[in-house]
Amino acid sequence: MAFSTTDLTAAKQYHTKEVLNKVLNSGGDALKVDIDNATISAGDLEVNNTDLETKVDATNTKLDAMIVDLAALEVLVTAINVTTDKLDACINTGTDALKTYT
């Protein structure tokens, strides 16, 4: 029995659909796509500028808050250094004992 090209094409399409259906309904990781060699042109990309600007603004706000926090930490470190210097002045470096004044 000979098959026509139409019969073979129809069988191939059915087989492809059947395999795809099984893959999509398997619930597993059967469908994975390798996109290492994909090419995307600028026309294929769509960017929502409003969302992007909102995220940039939020990031800038967070960075500004971090700068304020860093400035506060710098003040604290300076105060700790002053206190440490005062404590060091009270210690006899030869004996590591507190200096006593009479």
Q: Tell me how far apart the alpha carbons of residues 8 and 44 are, in angstroms, rounded to a whole number.
A: 35
Tell me, what's the pLDDT at 76? Answer: 94
More confidently predicted of 64 and 50: 64
Report the alpha-carbon angle 34-38-42, nearest 5.
145
Domain ranges of the chain: 50-102
Q: What percent of the chain has pLDDT over 70?
A: 64
Dump pLDDT digits (tens) for 74-89.
999 999 999 988 888 8
DSSP codes joined into one string, 1-60 = ----HHHHHHHHHHHHHHHHHHHHTS-SS------TT----GGG----HHHHHHHHHHHH
Tell me, what's the pLDDT at 16? Answer: 67
> Would the pLDDT of 11 be above 70?
no
pLDDT, mean of residues 46-75? 89
Tell me, what's the pLDDT at 98? Answer: 86
